Amino acid sequence: METKGFFPRAWRFIKRLFIFLFIAQFVYIILLKWVDPPITLTQLSSLFTGHGLKRDYISRSSIGTNAKLAVIASEDQLFPDHDGFDFKSIEKAMKHNQKSKSLHGASTISQQTAKNVFLWQGRSWIRKALEVYFTFMIEKIWGKKRILDVYMNVAQMGDGVFGIEKAAQKDFNKHAVNLSRQEAAMIAACLPNPQKYSVKPVSRYVAIRSGWVVRQMNNLQSDPDIQRIVFPTSKK
């Protein structure tokens, strides 16, 4: 009799817990539209594995045009145009990964933000499925400008360094808003693997890729969709 009563009670508890967690994460997503994430799993991992945690969250106006433009040019040039997923790049990456041992990613800035804020690093299907969910939610609730703001503040940009402000201080001894186009491109060039690539001393990869990033920035700066997201005079 006790066993028969246990399973219904356990099932009711699981359902209530699931509903509570669903409501909690939904409220958290809404709050982060205006409030900076207090901590992320990636930041905690960096702290507890001995890499440290150096960060300094800043406002949209303090990020700087060059920094935002460099990150879009380096990581996701279709950022203003997609709904969180770049399906052409995903298909291209899948074809490459089937033929090569070196893996190519196709994550958009929106996907990277969802992963960095709500999830952990890794390649499991469970994490990827959750990433799809959170990407969809922040696209609908936050919008492009807020997604970029959060990404610029939480993305790892060096060994134990998170966010553009701390990266600018560490690498160039200046605030993010004052970064030159070349300096911003160098920081953005490290994003694929910030623990491997460095600005100072500058790695060969960063030296080469930063030049490419600057050229892409020059090409993108006149795009009206980019301007609406990047430039401070934009009202949308």
Each residue of 11-29: pLDDT tens digit?
A: 888 889 889 999 999 999 9
Q: Could you tell me if residue 2 is inside a domain?
A: no
For the chain, the first-to-last Cα distance in angstroms comes to 63
Q: Could you tell me if residue 118 is inside a domain?
A: yes
pLDDT, position 2:
58
Which residue reads 């990404």 in tokens?
A: 151
* DSSP of 85-142: --HHHHHHHHHHHHH-SS------HHHHHHHHHHS-SS--HHHHHHHHHHHHHHHHHT
Separation between Cα atoms, residue 186 and residue 167, nearest integer Å: 11
Residue among 98, 128, 123, 120 at smallest CA distance from 49 = 120
Angle, CA of 143, 63 and 76, to the nearest 5°: 55
Q: Could you tell me if residue 148 is inside a domain?
A: yes
Residue 80's domain spans which residues?
Answer: 56-230
Q: What is the DSSP letter of 203?
A: P
C-beta separation of 122 from 42 below 8 A: no
C-beta separation of 63 from 145 below 8 A: no
In this predicted structure, the answer to whether residue 91 has a pLDDT above a threshold of 70 is no
pLDDT, position 236:
45
Separation between Cα atoms, residue 7 and residue 102, nearest integer Å: 48
User: What total number of domains does the chain contain?
Assistant: 1
Pairing state between β 161-162 and 54-55? parallel
Joined together, the tokens standing for residue 185 give 């491109």
Q: Could you tell me if residue 221 is inside a domain?
A: yes
Pairing state between β 161-162 and 156-158? antiparallel
In this predicted structure, the answer to whether residue 168 has a pLDDT above a threshold of 70 is yes
Q: Could you tell me if residue 82 is inside a domain?
A: yes
In this predicted structure, the answer to whether residue 95 has a pLDDT above a threshold of 70 is no
Q: SS3 of 158, please?
A: strand
Q: Could you tell me if residue 45 is inside a domain?
A: no
pLDDT, position 90:
66
Q: Could you tell me if residue 42 is inside a domain?
A: no
Q: Could you tell me if residue 131 is inside a domain?
A: yes
Q: Determine the distance from the C-alpha atom of residue 227 to the mean position of all C-alpha atoms in its chain, rounded to a whole number.
A: 20
- 8 — pLDDT class (breaks 50, 70, 90): confident
Which CATH number does the domain housing residue 97 bear? Answer: 1.10.3810.10
Which residue reads 């997609």 in tokens?
A: 82
Question: Within 13 Å, how many C-alpha atoms sit on residue 17's CB side?
Answer: 6
